[in-house]
Protein backbone atom coordinates (compact mmCIF):
# COMPACT_ATOMS: atom_id res chain seq x y z
CA UNK A 1 0.00 0.00 0.00
CA UNK A 2 -1.09 0.53 1.61
CA UNK A 3 0.77 2.39 0.35
CA UNK A 4 -1.44 5.56 -3.16
CA UNK A 5 -4.17 7.25 -5.38
CA UNK A 6 -5.27 7.96 -8.51
CA UNK A 7 -6.76 9.54 -11.54
CA UNK A 8 -10.36 9.99 -12.56
CA UNK A 9 -11.22 8.29 -15.80
CA UNK A 10 -13.13 11.50 -16.49
CA UNK A 11 -16.28 10.36 -18.28
CA UNK A 12 -19.76 11.69 -17.45
CA UNK A 13 -21.80 8.63 -16.52
CA UNK A 14 -25.45 7.97 -15.82
CA UNK A 15 -26.31 7.13 -12.18
CA UNK A 16 -25.38 3.56 -11.34
CA UNK A 17 -23.20 3.17 -14.42
CA UNK A 18 -19.65 1.97 -14.29
CA UNK A 19 -16.73 3.50 -16.13
CA UNK A 20 -13.40 2.96 -14.43
CA UNK A 21 -9.77 2.14 -15.09
CA UNK A 22 -7.57 -0.25 -13.10
CA UNK A 23 -3.94 -1.32 -13.31
CA UNK A 24 -2.75 -4.83 -12.50
CA UNK A 25 0.72 -6.35 -12.24
CA UNK A 26 1.75 -9.94 -12.93
CA UNK A 27 4.69 -11.88 -11.53
CA UNK A 28 5.65 -12.87 -15.09
CA UNK A 29 6.60 -9.26 -15.85
CA UNK A 30 3.54 -7.62 -17.40
CA UNK A 31 1.76 -4.47 -16.21
CA UNK A 32 -1.81 -4.28 -17.54
CA UNK A 33 -4.38 -1.51 -17.89
CA UNK A 34 -7.99 -2.67 -17.45
CA UNK A 35 -11.27 -0.99 -18.34
CA UNK A 36 -14.46 -1.62 -16.31
CA UNK A 37 -17.81 -0.93 -18.00
CA UNK A 38 -21.45 -1.73 -17.26
CA UNK A 39 -23.59 -1.04 -14.18
CA UNK A 40 -22.95 -1.33 -10.46
CA UNK A 41 -24.55 -4.79 -10.48
CA UNK A 42 -23.27 -6.22 -13.75
CA UNK A 43 -20.16 -5.20 -15.65
CA UNK A 44 -17.35 -6.30 -17.90
CA UNK A 45 -13.59 -5.98 -17.62
CA UNK A 46 -11.27 -5.77 -20.60
CA UNK A 47 -7.51 -5.40 -21.03
CA UNK A 48 -6.78 -2.18 -22.93
CA UNK A 49 -2.97 -2.11 -22.87
CA UNK A 50 0.09 -3.94 -21.57
CA UNK A 51 3.68 -2.96 -20.89
CA UNK A 52 6.78 -4.14 -19.04
CA UNK A 53 9.89 -2.53 -17.52
CA UNK A 54 9.52 -3.67 -13.91
CA UNK A 55 12.15 -6.37 -14.09
CA UNK A 56 11.42 -10.08 -14.07
CA UNK A 57 9.00 -10.31 -11.13
CA UNK A 58 6.78 -7.27 -10.46
CA UNK A 59 5.58 -7.79 -6.91
CA UNK A 60 4.01 -4.53 -5.73
CA UNK A 61 2.57 -1.38 -7.34
CA UNK A 62 1.95 2.09 -5.85
CA UNK A 63 -0.06 4.75 -7.67
CA UNK A 64 0.04 8.52 -6.90
CA UNK A 65 -2.85 10.60 -8.19
CA UNK A 66 -1.72 14.19 -8.59
CA UNK A 67 1.55 13.34 -10.33
CA UNK A 68 -0.04 10.55 -12.38
CA UNK A 69 2.87 8.29 -11.49
CA UNK A 70 2.86 4.54 -10.88
CA UNK A 71 5.78 2.86 -9.10
CA UNK A 72 6.45 -0.84 -9.48
CA UNK A 73 8.80 -2.89 -7.30
CA UNK A 74 10.54 -5.98 -8.67
CA UNK A 75 10.58 -9.03 -6.37
CA UNK A 76 13.37 -10.65 -8.35
CA UNK A 77 15.17 -13.44 -6.47
CA UNK A 78 18.29 -13.27 -8.66
CA UNK A 79 20.33 -10.89 -6.47
CA UNK A 80 19.22 -7.67 -8.13
CA UNK A 81 16.02 -6.04 -9.31
CA UNK A 82 14.50 -2.73 -10.37
CA UNK A 83 12.14 0.02 -9.32
CA UNK A 84 10.18 1.29 -12.30
CA UNK A 85 8.34 4.61 -12.63
CA UNK A 86 5.51 5.04 -15.13
CA UNK A 87 3.49 8.02 -16.28
CA UNK A 88 -0.23 7.23 -16.39
CA UNK A 89 -2.24 8.72 -19.26
CA UNK A 90 -5.92 9.65 -18.98
CA UNK A 91 -6.88 6.31 -20.52
CA UNK A 92 -4.60 4.45 -18.11
CA UNK A 93 -1.90 3.65 -20.64
CA UNK A 94 1.55 3.51 -19.03
CA UNK A 95 4.83 5.03 -20.25
CA UNK A 96 8.11 4.13 -18.54
CA UNK A 97 9.70 7.36 -17.21
CA UNK A 98 12.33 6.13 -14.75
CA UNK A 99 14.15 3.06 -13.53
CA UNK A 100 16.70 2.21 -10.85
CA UNK A 101 18.55 -0.95 -9.90
CA UNK A 102 17.81 -2.48 -6.51
CA UNK A 103 19.42 -5.07 -4.26
CA UNK A 104 16.68 -7.54 -5.24
CA UNK A 105 13.82 -9.40 -3.53
CA UNK A 106 11.88 -6.19 -2.80
CA UNK A 107 8.37 -7.23 -1.72
CA UNK A 108 7.05 -3.73 -1.03
CA UNK A 109 7.96 -0.08 -1.52
CA UNK A 110 6.73 3.51 -1.35
CA UNK A 111 7.82 7.14 -1.59
CA UNK A 112 8.47 9.28 1.50
CA UNK A 113 10.27 12.32 2.90
CA UNK A 114 11.27 15.68 1.50
CA UNK A 115 9.13 18.77 1.13
CA UNK A 116 6.70 16.95 -1.16
CA UNK A 117 6.66 13.64 0.74
CA UNK A 118 8.10 11.92 -2.32
CA UNK A 119 11.81 12.72 -2.40
CA UNK A 120 12.95 9.23 -1.43
CA UNK A 121 11.96 5.59 -1.95
CA UNK A 122 11.92 2.89 0.74
CA UNK A 123 11.78 -0.84 0.00
CA UNK A 124 11.85 -4.04 2.06
CA UNK A 125 13.72 -7.17 1.02
CA UNK A 126 12.15 -10.38 2.32
CA UNK A 127 15.05 -12.86 2.33
CA UNK A 128 18.02 -10.46 2.61
CA UNK A 129 16.21 -9.13 5.72
CA UNK A 130 16.77 -5.48 4.82
CA UNK A 131 15.15 -2.09 4.48
CA UNK A 132 16.74 -0.07 1.67
CA UNK A 133 16.24 3.56 0.71
CA UNK A 134 16.95 5.44 -2.52
CA UNK A 135 16.99 9.08 -3.51
CA UNK A 136 14.66 10.38 -6.20
CA UNK A 137 14.63 10.74 -9.14
CA UNK A 138 15.18 7.15 -10.17
CA UNK A 139 18.31 6.61 -12.21
CA UNK A 140 20.97 3.92 -12.27
CA UNK A 141 21.66 2.55 -8.80
CA UNK A 142 21.39 5.08 -6.00
CA UNK A 143 21.21 3.29 -2.62
CA UNK A 144 20.95 5.86 0.14
CA UNK A 145 20.78 3.60 3.20
CA UNK A 146 20.57 -0.12 3.89
CA UNK A 147 19.64 -1.63 7.24
CA UNK A 148 19.99 -5.38 7.76
CA UNK A 149 18.14 -7.24 10.51
CA UNK A 150 19.22 -10.30 12.47
CA UNK A 151 17.69 -12.36 15.26
CA UNK A 152 19.25 -14.54 17.94
CA UNK A 153 17.18 -17.65 17.28
CA UNK A 154 14.61 -19.02 14.88
CA UNK A 155 10.90 -18.51 15.46
CA UNK A 156 8.31 -21.23 16.14
CA UNK A 157 7.17 -21.37 12.51
CA UNK A 158 9.44 -23.05 9.96
CA UNK A 159 9.31 -19.90 7.82
CA UNK A 160 10.79 -17.84 10.65
CA UNK A 161 14.39 -18.82 9.94
CA UNK A 162 15.59 -15.20 9.63
CA UNK A 163 13.86 -11.79 9.81
CA UNK A 164 11.47 -11.31 6.90
CA UNK A 165 10.36 -7.67 6.70
CA UNK A 166 7.29 -7.50 4.47
CA UNK A 167 6.13 -3.88 4.15
CA UNK A 168 7.22 -0.25 4.45
CA UNK A 169 4.15 1.71 5.52
CA UNK A 170 3.89 5.42 6.25
CA UNK A 171 2.03 6.43 9.39
CA UNK A 172 -0.71 9.09 8.89
CA UNK A 173 1.67 11.95 9.75
CA UNK A 174 4.30 10.84 7.24
CA UNK A 175 6.98 11.07 9.95
CA UNK A 176 7.45 7.34 10.58
CA UNK A 177 7.83 4.19 8.51
CA UNK A 178 6.35 1.01 9.96
CA UNK A 179 7.70 -2.39 8.90
CA UNK A 180 5.95 -5.58 9.99
CA UNK A 181 8.51 -8.40 10.20
CA UNK A 182 7.05 -11.84 9.48
CA UNK A 183 10.22 -13.70 10.46
CA UNK A 184 11.01 -11.92 13.72
CA UNK A 185 7.42 -11.40 14.99
CA UNK A 186 8.06 -7.68 15.28
CA UNK A 187 6.52 -4.41 14.14
CA UNK A 188 9.56 -2.28 13.40
CA UNK A 189 9.37 1.52 13.63
CA UNK A 190 11.65 4.03 11.88
CA UNK A 191 11.76 7.77 12.36
CA UNK A 192 12.17 9.75 9.13
CA UNK A 193 14.57 12.64 8.67
CA UNK A 194 12.55 14.43 6.01
CA UNK A 195 15.45 16.45 4.60
CA UNK A 196 18.05 13.69 4.28
CA UNK A 197 15.75 10.68 3.92
CA UNK A 198 17.63 8.89 6.69
CA UNK A 199 15.71 6.33 8.74
CA UNK A 200 16.50 5.88 12.44
CA UNK A 201 15.28 2.73 14.17
CA UNK A 202 12.98 3.13 17.16
CA UNK A 203 11.92 0.47 19.67
CA UNK A 204 10.02 -2.42 18.06
CA UNK A 205 6.59 -3.69 19.07
CA UNK A 206 6.36 -7.41 19.72
CA UNK A 207 3.72 -9.61 18.14
CA UNK A 208 2.86 -13.00 19.62
CA UNK A 209 5.27 -15.82 18.79
CA UNK A 210 4.42 -17.35 15.43
CA UNK A 211 2.04 -14.56 14.35
CA UNK A 212 4.21 -13.47 11.42
CA UNK A 213 2.92 -9.89 10.95
CA UNK A 214 2.87 -9.01 7.24
CA UNK A 215 1.06 -5.68 6.68
CA UNK A 216 -0.40 -2.83 8.77
CA UNK A 217 -3.13 -0.18 8.44
CA UNK A 218 -4.05 2.82 10.63
CA UNK A 219 -7.47 4.04 11.87
CA UNK A 220 -8.56 7.05 13.89
CA UNK A 221 -11.87 7.71 15.66
CA UNK A 222 -13.78 10.99 15.48
CA UNK A 223 -12.62 11.65 19.05
CA UNK A 224 -8.98 11.10 18.14
CA UNK A 225 -8.42 7.51 19.32
CA UNK A 226 -5.59 6.17 17.18
CA UNK A 227 -5.35 2.46 16.36
CA UNK A 228 -3.41 0.26 13.99
CA UNK A 229 -4.22 -3.23 12.71
CA UNK A 230 -1.73 -5.83 11.57
CA UNK A 231 -2.42 -8.76 9.29
CA UNK A 232 -0.63 -11.81 10.68
CA UNK A 233 0.15 -14.16 7.80
CA UNK A 234 1.45 -17.13 9.77
CA UNK A 235 -1.11 -16.90 12.58
CA UNK A 236 -4.04 -16.36 10.20
CA UNK A 237 -5.17 -13.48 12.37
CA UNK A 238 -5.44 -9.70 12.71
CA UNK A 239 -4.23 -7.72 15.72
CA UNK A 240 -5.34 -4.34 17.03
CA UNK A 241 -2.77 -1.96 18.52
CA UNK A 242 -3.00 1.27 20.49
CA UNK A 243 -0.85 3.93 18.83
CA UNK A 244 0.92 6.61 20.86
CA UNK A 245 2.70 9.59 19.35
CA UNK A 246 5.66 11.31 21.05
CA UNK A 247 5.18 14.61 22.89
CA UNK A 248 8.09 16.21 21.01
CA UNK A 249 9.99 15.83 17.75
CA UNK A 250 12.77 13.77 19.35
CA UNK A 251 10.47 10.91 20.36
CA UNK A 252 9.21 7.81 18.57
CA UNK A 253 5.89 6.29 17.71
CA UNK A 254 4.95 3.32 19.94
CA UNK A 255 2.45 0.46 19.72
CA UNK A 256 0.67 -1.61 22.37
CA UNK A 257 -1.21 -4.72 21.27
CA UNK A 258 -4.77 -4.90 22.60
CA UNK A 259 -6.50 -7.64 20.65
CA UNK A 260 -6.00 -10.53 18.22
CA UNK A 261 -8.79 -12.24 16.25
CA UNK A 262 -8.68 -15.08 13.76
CA UNK A 263 -9.31 -14.45 10.08
CA UNK A 264 -11.94 -17.19 10.38
CA UNK A 265 -15.28 -17.22 12.15
CA UNK A 266 -15.28 -18.21 15.83
CA UNK A 267 -14.89 -21.97 16.09
CA UNK A 268 -13.33 -22.30 12.65
CA UNK A 269 -9.74 -22.23 11.43
CA UNK A 270 -7.73 -22.44 8.25
CA UNK A 271 -6.03 -25.54 6.90
CA UNK A 272 -2.34 -26.48 6.79
CA UNK A 273 -1.61 -24.40 3.68
CA UNK A 274 -3.81 -21.36 4.36
CA UNK A 275 -2.13 -18.01 4.93
CA UNK A 276 -3.66 -14.60 5.41
CA UNK A 277 -2.51 -12.02 2.85
CA UNK A 278 -3.68 -8.40 3.03
CA UNK A 279 -5.58 -6.03 5.30
CA UNK A 280 -7.67 -2.94 4.50
CA UNK A 281 -9.59 -0.39 6.55
CA UNK A 282 -12.65 1.36 5.09
CA UNK A 283 -14.47 3.64 7.53
CA UNK A 284 -15.33 1.53 10.55
CA UNK A 285 -14.76 -1.79 8.82
CA UNK A 286 -11.68 -4.00 8.58
CA UNK A 287 -11.03 -6.57 5.84
CA UNK A 288 -8.45 -9.34 5.50
CA UNK A 289 -7.94 -11.86 2.70
CA UNK A 290 -7.29 -15.56 3.22
CA UNK A 291 -5.33 -17.63 0.71
CA UNK A 292 -6.01 -21.30 -0.04
CA UNK A 293 -8.93 -21.78 2.38
CA UNK A 294 -11.46 -22.50 -0.42
CA UNK A 295 -14.27 -21.59 1.98
CA UNK A 296 -16.69 -20.96 -0.90
CA UNK A 297 -15.80 -23.96 -3.05
CA UNK A 298 -12.97 -25.05 -5.27
CA UNK A 299 -10.46 -22.20 -5.67
CA UNK A 300 -12.89 -19.72 -4.03
CA UNK A 301 -11.12 -18.21 -1.02
CA UNK A 302 -12.55 -15.86 1.60
CA UNK A 303 -12.32 -12.26 2.74
CA UNK A 304 -12.74 -11.85 6.51
CA UNK A 305 -14.84 -8.83 7.52
CA UNK A 306 -14.87 -7.10 10.92
CA UNK A 307 -16.61 -4.10 12.41
CA UNK A 308 -14.51 -1.45 14.16
CA UNK A 309 -16.04 0.12 17.27
CA UNK A 310 -16.38 3.81 16.44
CA UNK A 311 -15.30 4.83 19.95
CA UNK A 312 -12.66 2.34 21.04
CA UNK A 313 -11.37 0.86 17.77
CA UNK A 314 -11.99 -2.68 19.03
CA UNK A 315 -12.76 -5.15 16.24
CA UNK A 316 -15.57 -7.72 16.10
CA UNK A 317 -16.05 -10.53 13.60
CA UNK A 318 -18.79 -9.79 11.06
CA UNK A 319 -18.64 -12.41 8.31
CA UNK A 320 -16.62 -14.22 5.66
CA UNK A 321 -17.24 -13.15 2.07
CA UNK A 322 -16.37 -14.81 -1.22
CA UNK A 323 -13.26 -13.31 -2.86
CA UNK A 324 -14.18 -14.93 -6.20
CA UNK A 325 -10.50 -15.81 -6.56
CA UNK A 326 -7.82 -18.28 -5.54
CA UNK A 327 -4.97 -16.94 -3.39
CA UNK A 328 -6.31 -13.35 -3.11
CA UNK A 329 -3.01 -11.58 -2.58
CA UNK A 330 -4.14 -8.03 -3.27
CA UNK A 331 -7.36 -6.02 -3.03
CA UNK A 332 -8.45 -2.40 -3.06
CA UNK A 333 -11.73 -0.53 -2.58
CA UNK A 334 -12.84 2.22 -4.91
CA UNK A 335 -13.19 5.81 -3.67
CA UNK A 336 -16.94 5.45 -3.01
CA UNK A 337 -16.51 2.22 -1.10
CA UNK A 338 -19.13 0.57 -3.32
CA UNK A 339 -16.79 -1.84 -5.10
CA UNK A 340 -13.69 -3.83 -4.29
CA UNK A 341 -11.16 -5.08 -6.82
CA UNK A 342 -9.61 -8.38 -5.74
CA UNK A 343 -6.50 -9.80 -7.36
CA UNK A 344 -6.31 -13.58 -7.21
CA UNK A 345 -2.66 -14.55 -7.32
CA UNK A 346 -2.95 -18.20 -8.37
CA UNK A 347 -6.18 -17.77 -10.34
CA UNK A 348 -4.53 -14.68 -11.90
CA UNK A 349 -7.86 -12.88 -12.09
CA UNK A 350 -9.23 -9.48 -11.16
CA UNK A 351 -12.69 -9.76 -9.59
CA UNK A 352 -14.88 -6.71 -9.01
CA UNK A 353 -17.23 -7.28 -6.06
CA UNK A 354 -20.13 -5.11 -4.88
CA UNK A 355 -20.00 -3.62 -1.36
CA UNK A 356 -22.70 -2.10 0.83
CA UNK A 357 -21.09 0.99 2.44
CA UNK A 358 -23.70 1.03 5.24
CA UNK A 359 -23.23 -2.56 6.44
CA UNK A 360 -19.69 -3.10 5.16
CA UNK A 361 -20.75 -6.42 3.68
CA UNK A 362 -19.41 -7.65 0.35
CA UNK A 363 -21.90 -8.99 -2.17
CA UNK A 364 -22.15 -10.33 -5.69
CA UNK A 365 -19.51 -10.57 -8.38
CA UNK A 366 -19.89 -7.59 -10.74
CA UNK A 367 -17.12 -8.36 -13.25
CA UNK A 368 -14.21 -10.75 -13.65
CA UNK A 369 -11.25 -11.27 -15.98
CA UNK A 370 -8.16 -13.44 -16.15
CA UNK A 371 -4.99 -11.37 -16.51
CA UNK A 372 -1.92 -13.22 -17.77
CA UNK A 373 -1.10 -16.83 -17.09
CA UNK A 374 -2.48 -18.59 -14.01
CA UNK A 375 -0.05 -19.33 -11.20
CA UNK A 376 0.75 -22.42 -9.15
CA UNK A 377 -0.60 -22.69 -5.62
CA UNK A 378 1.98 -21.51 -3.10
CA UNK A 379 4.43 -20.23 -5.72
CA UNK A 380 5.55 -16.70 -6.60
CA UNK A 381 3.68 -16.47 -9.88
CA UNK A 382 0.31 -15.28 -11.14
CA UNK A 383 -1.22 -11.87 -10.43
CA UNK A 384 0.66 -9.68 -7.93
CA UNK A 385 -1.18 -6.36 -7.62
CA UNK A 386 -4.25 -4.33 -8.60
CA UNK A 387 -5.16 -0.65 -8.09
CA UNK A 388 -8.04 1.61 -9.11
CA UNK A 389 -7.20 4.62 -11.26
CA UNK A 390 -9.18 7.32 -9.45
CA UNK A 391 -8.67 10.68 -7.82
CA UNK A 392 -8.72 9.06 -4.38
CA UNK A 393 -9.12 5.44 -3.40
CA UNK A 394 -10.47 4.25 -0.07
CA UNK A 395 -7.76 1.71 0.63
CA UNK A 396 -5.49 -0.74 -1.06
CA UNK A 397 -2.42 -1.78 -2.95
CA UNK A 398 -2.19 1.76 -4.28
CA UNK A 399 -2.17 4.89 -2.16
CA UNK A 400 -2.76 8.59 -2.44
CA UNK A 401 0.14 10.88 -1.51
CA UNK A 402 -1.72 12.13 1.55
CA UNK A 403 -3.20 8.92 2.96
CA UNK A 404 -1.26 5.69 2.97
CA UNK A 405 -3.90 3.25 4.02
Note whether residue 260 is domain-resident: yes
Q: Does the structure show a pLDDT above 90 at 149?
A: yes
Q: Residue 60 burial by CB count (10 A; 0-12/13-18/19+): exposed, middle or buried?
A: buried
pLDDT at 396: 43
The count of C-alpha atoms lying within 13 angstroms of the C-alpha of 217, restricted to the half-sphere facing its C-beta, is 29
Percent of the chain with pLDDT over 70: 92
pLDDT at 17: 67
Contact 100, 118 (CB under 8 A): no
pLDDT tens across 184-224, in order? 999 999 999 999 999 999 999 999 999 999 999 999 999 99
Under 8 Å CB-to-CB from 95, ≥6 apart: which residues?
51, 86, 87, 89
Name the pLDDT band for 32 (thresholds 50, 70, 90).
very high
Note whether residue 8 is domain-resident: no
Q: Does the structure show a pLDDT above 80 at 401?
A: no
Q: Does the structure show a pLDDT above 60 at 6?
A: no
Contact 4, 401 (CB under 8 A): yes
Q: How many domains does the chain have?
A: 1
Note whether residue 85 is domain-resident: yes
In the predicted model, what is the mean pLDDT of the chain?
92
pLDDT tens across 323-361, in order? 999 999 999 999 999 999 999 999 999 999 999 999 999
Domain that holds residue 270: 17-389
Note whether residue 325 is domain-resident: yes
Note whether residue 329 is domain-resident: yes
Strands lying side by side in the sheet with 31-39: 43-51, 31-39, 17-26, 383-389
pLDDT tens across 229-270, in order? 999 999 999 999 999 999 998 899 999 999 999 999 999 999
Name the pLDDT band for 2 (thresholds 50, 70, 90).
very low
Note whether residue 3 is domain-resident: no
Note whether residue 395 is domain-resident: no
Q: Region 314-322: what's the mean pLDDT?
A: 98
Q: Does the structure show a pLDDT above 80 at 282?
A: yes
Note whether residue 224 is domain-resident: yes
For residue 315, the tally of other CB atoms under 10 A from its CB is 23
pLDDT at 359: 98
CATH, residue 76? 2.130.10.10
Amino acid sequence: MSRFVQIIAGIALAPGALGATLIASHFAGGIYTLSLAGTNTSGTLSITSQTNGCGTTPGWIELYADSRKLYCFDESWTGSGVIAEYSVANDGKLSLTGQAKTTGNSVHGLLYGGADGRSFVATVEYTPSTVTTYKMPLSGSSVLQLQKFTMAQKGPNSRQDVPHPHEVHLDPTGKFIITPDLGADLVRVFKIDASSGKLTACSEAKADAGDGPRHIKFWKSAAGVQKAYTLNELGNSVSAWDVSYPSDESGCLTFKKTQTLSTYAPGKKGGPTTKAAEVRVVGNFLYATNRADQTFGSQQDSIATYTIDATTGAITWLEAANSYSYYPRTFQFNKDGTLVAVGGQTSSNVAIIARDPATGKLGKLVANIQVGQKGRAGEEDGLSGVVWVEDQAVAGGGHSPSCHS
